Amino acid sequence: MSKTVLVPVDGSEQSKKAIEFAADWAKHHDGKLHLFHVPEPAAGDEVMVLGGASITLHASREELEEAGHQILEAAAGIVRDQGVTDVETSLEIGDPARKIIAKAETLGVDMIVMGTRGLGDWKSLLIGSVSHKVSHLAPCTCVTVR
């Protein structure tokens, strides 16, 4: 019996570790992977400080989708390099935790594997990380990878 594993990906190092873990699990348990990317649109102008420099971030829907598809292709490459061929990808823009939960319910996944902390901003320190929210609301087993 094949089991479906949802793997939210964001391009971070923790996300890569989650992809590798899920691919290894799928290879040994006849599993199917669904790689899922959820870019969160900016709610207005956001400024990020990097080493004292300020950068104003503006990303159109098309730019978010293009970057997201690149992240998904890289993730799929990692999975295929580990010998897993049953892999699908998808992208939805919105609130990551809500979209991940909805995708898990829609697909009827058996497990969600994700990194403990991805590329989230300082906001996650105040209102909680995506992985924390997902682990509390998911309809299935959740595995967080560091």
Instruction: pLDDT tens for the chain, 146 residues: list them.
Output: 569 999 999 999 999 999 999 999 999 999 999 999 999 876 655 544 444 544 446 688 899 999 999 999 999 999 999 999 999 999 999 999 999 999 999 999 999 999 986 555 554 444 458 999 999 999 999 999 98
| Domains, the chain, ordered by start | 3-145 (3.40.50.620)
Biggest CA–CA distance in the chain, Å, is: 53
Residue with tokens 């609130």: 95
**Stated pTM of the model:** 0.85
Task: Give the ranges where the chain is alpha helix by DSSP (H).
Answer: 13-28, 61-81, 96-107, 123-127, 130-137
Q: Is 96 helix (H, G, I), strand (E, B) or coil?
A: helix
Answer whether 87's CB lies under 8 Å from 25's CB.
no
